[in-house]
Amino acid sequence: MDRIVISGGHTLRGEVRISGAKNAALPILASTLLGRGECVITNVPGVKDVLTMSQLLVLLGATITTEGDRVAIRADQLRSTAAPYEMVKTMRASVLVLGPLVARWGEATVSLPGGCAIGTRPVDLHLNGLVKLGAEVSVEHGYIRAKAQRLRGARIHLDIPTVTGTENLLMAACLADGTTVIENAAKEPEVLDLAHFLVKRGAKIAGAGTDLITVEGVSVLRGADHEVIPDRIEAGTYLVAGAITGGDVYVNACRPGHLEAVIVKLRGTGADVIEGKESIRLKAARRPRAVDVRTFAHPGFPTDMQAQMVALLSLAEGTSVVVETVFESRFIHIPELQRMGAEVRIDGNHAVVSGVAKLTGAPVMASDLRASAGLILAGLAAEGETEVSRVYHLDRGYERIEDKLRGLGAVIRRVKGSTGGAGAGQTP
């Protein structure tokens, strides 16, 4: 397992370019199963999860050509409608093929994702929605089996605005007979980006990006080109990298409007944040101030930025309360941060962060994608050397993170090697 070694205490300055959003690219790639014709997707990030999704689509029978950030993909014929355990266990988002498979190919067998480091994470809402759309759904031997001659439109109310659940049902509804209404839908920008792509392919969708999505089913989708939106979580991570090192970073090729909740909190810590059309500049405060943060579905503060924010607040003047409302056990990075000197008390889904004047470098272990990012950020600010093991989690979602951080002045290197446990992570 590779490790990342950081020599902390260097102020980050300069410009960093943001890659395409992993969480938009994954459903968009999965949705190519819904129709015929070539789809050319650009601004696709070169991260492990995208590779896993591509491998899954090839296994199902799609043909894919990748050149840099451009992926040309065709799913005119399939050879299988089964997503095996080996794939789904490395990436929960593999479940995104369920809706397209059953809608276009009449059947799907998809391994049931298990628990993961950040909580139980069921997919019951995906399955209930498909049943509403007329699919026969069963779970046998660890696999979801769904079947339908043709799905039919329905009114679906989601108890929780699940992101991948909304995406799965949105994709399935595109080919259903009649009208589908998804109530309490997820409003994340990635859902909207998927809808934009589907509309280019001939789908009839209204209301994406709001909590009420209406889909008029059509019989076929065609090929289309699409550029994936920038990754708001990657952008937020580099903003925090600037803030935590007392730096001045210019985050380029991003959408400031997708990051409002993060920007508000960063300003709350005293940072000067200047929004451009497609860029954000952050000039850090001398020492961050404490702020309270509560994660929430979009447009609330993203749970995928919580670990990074806790790292920043661990160095703030004063005490911050961070409440995690989206996932049940998403504080696993905190014991690792405590090893670096952070003073954090966890009480249920509340983390009470008493800011300290300095962190000290230590060997730490990443437990999920965003937790890894939080530990890297803490390492950038800590005194001495921090070694983050199990960085395969990081590689799932951050494109060339060491290069990008080095470009900003960080002293960071990857060590190829064997420290850290084996096994794959199942996290956002």
Active site members: 116
393: closest CA among 379, 375, 411? 375
The CA-to-CA distance between both ends of the chain, in Å, stands at 20
**At its nearest, how many Å lie between ligand UD1 and the CB of residue 119?**
6
Residues that bind ligand UD1 (CB under 6 A): 23, 26, 92-93, 119, 121-126, 160, 162-165, 190, 303-304, 326-327, 428
Q: Helix H segments across 180-230?
A: 189-200
- Exposure string of 177-216, with b = 16+ CB inside 10 Å and e = fewer, is eeebbbebbbbbbbbbbbbbbbbebbbebeebbeeebbbe
Q: Given the complex with ligand UD1, which of 92 and 393 has the nearer CB atom? A: 92
CA 298/CA 398 separation, integer angstroms: 21
Judged by DSSP in three states, 58 sits in helix
**At its nearest, how many Å lie between ligand UD1 and the CB of residue 160?**
4
Is the distance from CB of 324 to CB of 330 less than 8 angstroms?
A: yes
Q: Given the complex with ligand UD1, which of 69 and 190 has the nearer CB atom? A: 190
CB neighbourhood size of 389 (10 A): 22
**At its nearest, how many Å lie between ligand UD1 and the CB of residue 145?**
17
43: closest CA among 198, 193, 202? 193
The residues near 141 (Cβ < 8 Å, ≥ 6 apart) are none
Q: DSSP of 222-233, one letter per residue?
A: ---EEEPPB-HH
Q: Given the complex with ligand UD1, which of 96 and 365 has the nearer CB atom? A: 96
Residue nearest ligand UD1, CB atom distance: 428
**Tokens found for residue 257:** 């409007």
**At its nearest, how many Å lie between ligand UD1 and the CB of residue 10?**
29
**At its nearest, how many Å lie between ligand UD1 and the CB of residue 343?**
26
**At its nearest, how many Å lie between ligand UD1 and the CB of residue 263?**
18
Q: DSSP of 354-401, one letter per residue?
A: E--S--B--EEE--SHHHHHHHHHHHHHSBSEEEEE-THHHHTT-TTH
Q: Given the complex with ligand UD1, which of 326 and 382 has the nearer CB atom? A: 326
Q: Given the complex with ligand UD1, which of 34 and 408 has the nearer CB atom? A: 34
Q: Given the complex with ligand UD1, which of 125 and 174 has the nearer CB atom? A: 125
